[in-house]
Structure formats: structure tokens, C-alpha cells
Chain A
Amino acid sequence: MTPLLRFRSVSVRFGDVSAVDDVSLELSEGELLGLVGESGCGKTTLALATMGLLPSSATVEGAIDFRGQDLLALSEDERRRLRGDRISMVFQDPAAALDPAFSIGDQVAETIRAHRPVGRREAKARALSLLREVGIADAERRYRDAPHRLSGGMQQRVVIATALANEPSLLIADEPTTALDATIQAQILDLIRDLRRRHGTTVLLIAHDLGVVARLCRRAAVLYAGQLVETAPVERIFEAPAHPYTRALLAALPDRSRPRGALAAAAGQVPDLAAPPPGCRFAPRCPLVRDECVRRPLRTAVSSGHDVACWAAAPAASTAAGEIVAATNGGR
């Protein structure tokens, strides 16, 4: 089966800055994939490249196939028609993502009318049922409310309703819970999971928090400084992380067994993306660094569905194995 979404050697540059470097990744139909990495590692850039909303200062290379069609080859108008219809996005800060001058209901209805030839009344009826579906109590009365009259969690529910308005095939959720209280986070994550189950929507969940990904996703991809370092089933990420960066990320998770205040952190700093180190970008901070690391490591399978891009993790015959994985990794 062709994957719903497939990044093929995608690179994004802003002038001299290499924000995303040669990322290849697939999402199969109905999958919920977590994309993890710290701030500035290129998660959002990758999402915006998929939406076609990067500023004109960005140059994108490679291909982003959506149902086998390269999105980067489409015209701006064709891309616009996909946005909010087949591919939609939930942003980080719901308070900022809703227009303060329009009622929440109108913003949902607008999304429907932008893509479907339906009348005002029908769009409103559909918007109402969407608001109910995402758990807005008393939707009829809330329909005309301005966004600022809702709590953050309610606002994010409205944003999710706009994103789901036209039953998209792909939903990109860019840190959907980062701006919310911890108790509300769990509710929103549960909502996303329920909606995905009900509609079969494929979800790309972007997070900097491994806990969020563990709660929701079966498979996770780890991004570091614009490079994809590891892709694996979530339990493998936790039990047997293969990339030194993934291990550092796990070690940095707060742990109740450690004394208070002692938060682990990886040594060193994220490289300057305007002059990244050659080869593996984690090499300067890596405890396992070796001579080969100045060359780009190939993607190697350490087990079924578990790929890593690291020289230290690669078995002896790494090159050949890596090539095979690279050629066949559409399998999952």
C-alpha cells in the first residue's frame, strides 16, 4: 500500500540556514505518528512545508508525496484547495489561532464554505455538530461567542473542530497541548485519539515531549537539528533507544526516583544551523563519536520497523544493510 504521506529526502533552507536536512519518512493510512525533537529542530518547518505555508524566503528540496502526488510540484492554487480540506493543521497556541473578531462558530463554518459548495445554513448546522463532537457543551449558545470568552482547552477544541471540518485525510497537530494546562492536555490528547479512531484520520503529532507521544502514538520519529535520527515503535524508543541522541532525550525526562532539582541534560549545545557540522549533526555532543561521523550515517534497521541513522549503531556490514532499508522502508 502506498503511504498516505511520504517525505523523500526533504531539505528546507532559509538562506544559509539548513532547517531540515534530508528527511525521509512515511505515514501510512490511518497511522498516528509522533514527531519528536527539541525547539528549533525543524518539526514545525517540516509541517509548514507539508502545508505549503513556508515563507517565500524558504527553499524546499526533495519531494513530499501525498497519496503518491508530490505536493511540491503542485501550483499554489492546487495546494490551497488541499489545505483545510484534505490536509489540515492544529496550531500550538489556540488563543492566537482563532480570529478575535469572529465568533467561534463562524470560523468553523468558514472552513467548510471555503471548500464545499454549501449554503450558510447548512454550513452552520455542520459547524454546530462539529462543535458538539469536539465536546463544546451547549454548542448552540456558544456558536456566536468570541474566542476570548472560552478557556484555553475549549479554544483548542474549536481549533480542532476547524481542522476536522472537511474530514481531512491528514491532520498535522503541531504541539497541540504545549500551551495548555497539564490537566487539559490529557483531555485534548484523548480527544485527538478518539477523533482519529472515529474518522480514520492519519495524524502527524508534533511534540517536544516524549510523554505526549507515548500517550498517543504507536510509532515515533526523532528529529535532531533538522536530521531524522531514529524511527521506531514507541515502546522500542523507550526500551531500546538506538541513537545516542534519543538516549540523551530519554535521560533528560524528569524522573521521580532522582533527587529534586537534579535534571539531566545532554552536554554541549545544538549546532549552529547556518554552519552545521558535516555528517551527523549530533557528533560534536555524542559520547560515541568516531571518525566516520563526519560522513552522513545511513539509515540502518536495528529491528523490524526500527531504523536509526548512526554509525555506532550500525552493524559491520552497515552500508549494504542501510541501502536495503532505505529502499524498502515503505513497508511499514
Chain B
Amino acid sequence: MTETALELPRRRSLPRLRGRVGREAGVGLGLLAVLGLLAVLAPVLAPHSPEAIDQHRVLGGLTWAHPFGSDALGRDVLSRVLFAFRASLSISLGAVAIALAVGIPIGVAAGYFGRALDAVLMRPIDLLLAFPALLLALSLIAITGPGQLVTMFAIAAIYLPILARVVRSSTLAVASEAYVEGARARGASHLRTIVQHVVPNAIGPALVQASVLCGFALQIEAALAFIGLGAQPPTPSLGLMLFDGYQVLEQAPWADVFPGLAIAITVVAFNLVGDGLRARLDPRGITR
């Protein structure tokens, strides 16, 4: 009488996020895990103090004691890269987290309720989107003065409109799904429907975007520090190190190469993870 459903290996809970990740995403995830560990353990791993000046080691080359060499003030580049990376990564992740925390509710509310609320919420977002990213960051910093915290909020302000837009459009698609109407037909309130059914299904593209943006956030942070509007010396910062190393590029390329490599590797790792997530969550490749 009853149909017997096909027996297949079974999965538990949140089926769409589970399963095999692609090889690239695996490499990206592995890289991120290592990088995250390096950032967290920086104080333990760093062989020297990042601020210890050694006059005998000014622009010193690569040795066992100083594997990445020393900079113009004789500071250990490896230790500085570790600490700078730790600071830069926290700023990037913090910025993306803020942008997600503000952007998701705005995008979901605008997409789900539509009409007047959509207009009220999205017009200011469009206004933010109209500014060139760096100009937006620069004007914020011009108001408050440079610093790491400001850098974080400036990057969040750049990303907020992007993420809100992405969430809004995927929410629009999900909100018209029959299972959302079905949830309402079972007596779920709007809030419950949103939390239980809309957000879990609409959040995928935003997470993909966010993972790629994490990498770019690191670049923006470095760029702001490079032009002197981000972290201020003597705080170790990848952007500041690039600037300092740039002055002595011909005599001691290692003072520039290693912080640059740290940025490059992190951006690649985030991009790989983003691509993997995209393939996983959106097999048709709609979000580009």
C-alpha cells in the first residue's frame, strides 16, 4: 500500500551545509585553520618581542634566530608578521561580523515585508553603496581620527550595503516559496517564520559573499594602515610593515615580502573557501 522510500545513506540535521567539500575549499579551509591558529598563538609562537629593537640587527638577513630577517629598526620580522597578522585578521573578521549582524536583519526585513519597509530600509543602504568604498572609509576616519577600531567600523560600513543587498535578494526569492506560506498556514507568526524558515534558507549567498569579503577586508585594512590612516605605530600592522619595508625594499626585501605574502595567502584562503561554499549552497551558480 505505502510506497517504500529509497534507502540511501542518511544525514542528520541541516542537510544543505553538510557533506563533502570540494578539494579547493578543503585546501582553503586547511589554510584558514593554520592561519587562525598562527593568529591565536602569536604570543606563544613569536620568537622575539615584536617591538624589541636590536641595533646590531638593522636590516639583518635571514638567520635561524630570525628566519624572516630584521627590519630597519632591527626588529624581528617573523614576530612582527605574526602579531600584525593577528591584529589584521581580528579587524577583518570583526568588520565582516558587524556587517553581517546589521546587514542580515535589514536585508531580511526589507525582502520579507517589502513595500514601505523595503523602501525605508534600502534607500539609505543604496546611498552608502553609491560612495566609492575607500572614500567612505576615508571620510569616516576623517571624522574620528585614525585607529584600529575605526578601521574596523569603516570596513563594516563598506560591506554593510553589499551584504544587506545580497540578503534582501535571496530573501525575496525564499519569501515567495510555498514552504513560507505553508509555515504561515500552520499558524507561525511572522517572526517565527523568518527565524525558522526564511533566514536558514536565505543566508547562503550572504555567507559566500562574507567569506570572500573577509579576504578583501584584510587588504583594505592594510591599505588604510599603509597610507597612515589605520593602525598607528608602534602597533604591528601588515599595512604599516609594508610601508616601512617599502622604504628599504632594495636593501632588505624580506621586510616587505613576508607581510605581503601573509596578506596574499589569507586572501587566497578566504576566496577558496568562498568558492567552495558557493558550489555547495548554490549549485546553479546564480550568485556571481
Q: A residues bordering B, Cβ < 8 Å?
A: 51, 53, 56, 80-85, 88-89, 91-93, 96-103, 110-111, 114-115, 135-137, 141-142, 144-146, 148-151, 153-154, 159, 162-163, 165, 184, 187
Quick one: which of A100, A110, A135, A144 contacts B188, CB cutoff 8 A? A110
Central interface residue in B1, B11, B183, by most chain A CB within 10 Å: B183
Question: Which chain B residues lie closer than 8 Å to A148 at the CB level?
Answer: 15
Instruction: Give the nearest-CB partner of B189 in chain A.
Output: A80
Flag if B200 contacts A91 (CB, 8 Å). Answer: no
A-B contact pairs, 24 of them (CB 8 A): A53-B181, A80-B188, A81-B187, A83-B186, A85-B187, A88-B185, A88-B186, A93-B178, A97-B179, A99-B196, A99-B200, A100-B16, A101-B201, A110-B183, A110-B188, A135-B1, A141-B10, A149-B5, A149-B6, A149-B8, A151-B3, A151-B5, A187-B1, A187-B3
8 nearest A-B residue pairs (beta carbon): A84-B187, A84-B186, A96-B178, A146-B15, A83-B187, A101-B200, A99-B179, A111-B186
**Closest chain B CB from A80 CB (angstroms):** 6
The majority secondary structure among interface residues of chain B is loop
Q: 19 more A-B contacts (CB under 8 A) besides A53-B184, A98-B182, A144-B12?
A: A53-B181, A81-B187, A82-B187, A84-B185, A88-B185, A91-B181, A91-B185, A96-B179, A99-B179, A110-B186, A110-B188, A114-B188, A115-B187, A135-B2, A137-B5, A144-B10, A146-B11, A154-B5, A159-B182
Question: Which chain A residues lie closer than 8 Å to B16 at the CB level?
Answer: 100-101
Question: Which chain A residues lie closer than 8 Å to B13 at the CB level?
Answer: 103, 144
Question: Which chain A residues lie closer than 8 Å to B186 at the CB level?
Answer: 83-84, 88, 110-111, 114, 162-163, 165
Question: Which chain A residues lie closer than 8 Å to B2 at the CB level?
Answer: 135-137, 187
A280 to B214 CA separation, bound complex (whole angstroms): 64
Q: Does B63 contact A (CB under 8 A)?
A: no
Instruction: Give the nearest-CB partner of B2 in chain A.
Output: A135
Quick one: which of A100, A142, A162 contacts B5, CB cutoff 8 A? A142
A206 to B179 CA separation, bound complex (whole angstroms): 19
**Closest chain B CB from A182 CB (angstroms):** 13
Question: Which chain A residues lie closer than 8 Å to B200 at the CB level?
Answer: 99, 101-102
Quick one: which of B1, B177, B178, B188 contacts A84, CB cutoff 8 A? B188
Question: Which chain A residues lie closer than 8 Å to B179 at the CB level?
Answer: 96-100
A135 to B6 CA separation, bound complex (whole angstroms): 15
Q: B residues bordering A, Cβ < 8 Å?
A: 1-6, 8, 10-16, 115, 177-179, 181-189, 192, 196-197, 200-201
**Closest chain B CB from A312 CB (angstroms):** 39
Flag if A137 contacts B197 (CB, 8 Å). Answer: no
Question: Which chain B residues lie closer than 8 Å to A165 at the CB level?
Answer: 186
Flag if B187 contacts A111 (CB, 8 Å). Answer: yes
Instruction: Give the nearest-CB partner of B178 in chain A.
Output: A96
Quick one: which of B14, B15, B182 contacts A97, CB cutoff 8 A? B182
Question: Which chain B residues lie closer than 8 Å to A163 at the CB level?
Answer: 186
Instruction: Give the nearest-CB partner of A57 in chain B.
Output: B115
Question: Which chain A residues lie closer than 8 Å to B178 at the CB level?
Answer: 91-93, 96-97
**Closest chain B CB from A90 CB (angstroms):** 9
Question: Which chain A residues lie closer than 8 Å to B192 at the CB level?
Answer: 114
A98 to B184 CA separation, bound complex (whole angstroms): 12
A92 to B200 CA separation, bound complex (whole angstroms): 23
Question: Which chain B residues lie closer than 8 Å to A151 at the CB level?
Answer: 3, 5-6
Instruction: Give the nearest-CB partner of B188 in chain A.
Output: A114
Question: Which chain B residues lie closer than 8 Å to A93 at the CB level?
Answer: 178
Flag if B177 contacts A83 (CB, 8 Å). Answer: no
**Closest chain A CB from B156 CB (angstroms):** 27
**Closest chain B CB from A120 CB (angstroms):** 14
A159 to B182 CA separation, bound complex (whole angstroms): 9
**Closest chain B CB from A48 CB (angstroms):** 9
Question: Which chain A residues lie closer than 8 Å to B184 at the CB level?
Answer: 53, 83
**Closest chain B CB from A8 CB (angstroms):** 23
Central interface residue in B5, B16, B185, by most chain A CB within 10 Å: B185
Given contacts A96-B178, A100-B201, contact A53 B185 (CB under 8 A): yes
A144 to B14 CA separation, bound complex (whole angstroms): 10
Quick one: which of B3, B181, B187 contacts A184, CB cutoff 8 A? B3
Flag if B185 contacts A102 (CB, 8 Å). Answer: no
Question: Which chain A residues lie closer than 8 Å to B4 at the CB level?
Answer: 137
Flag if A102 contacts B5 (CB, 8 Å). Answer: no
Flag if B5 contacts A51 (CB, 8 Å). Answer: no
A316 to B12 CA separation, bound complex (whole angstroms): 69
Question: Which chain A residues lie closer than 8 Å to B185 at the CB level?
Answer: 51, 53, 83-84, 88-89, 91
Question: Which chain B residues lie closer than 8 Å to A146 at the CB level?
Answer: 11, 15
Instruction: Give the nearest-CB partner of A142 in chain B.
Output: B5
Question: Which chain B residues lie closer than 8 Å to A141 at the CB level?
Answer: 10
A96 to B14 CA separation, bound complex (whole angstroms): 17
Quick one: which of B1, B115, B181, B196 contacts A110, CB cutoff 8 A? B196
Question: Which chain B residues lie closer than 8 Å to A100 at the CB level?
Answer: 15-16, 179, 201
Question: Which chain A residues lie closer than 8 Å to B3 at the CB level?
Answer: 151, 153-154, 184, 187
Question: Which chain A residues lie closer than 8 Å to B188 at the CB level?
Answer: 80, 84, 110, 114
A101 to B200 CA separation, bound complex (whole angstroms): 7
Instruction: Give the nearest-CB partner of B14 in chain A.
Output: A101
Question: Which chain A residues lie closer than 8 Å to B11 at the CB level?
Answer: 146
A102 to B177 CA separation, bound complex (whole angstroms): 14
Flag if B187 contacts A99 (CB, 8 Å). Answer: no
A73 to B179 CA separation, bound complex (whole angstroms): 27
A98 to B177 CA separation, bound complex (whole angstroms): 9
Question: Which chain B residues lie closer than 8 Å to A135 at the CB level?
Answer: 1-2
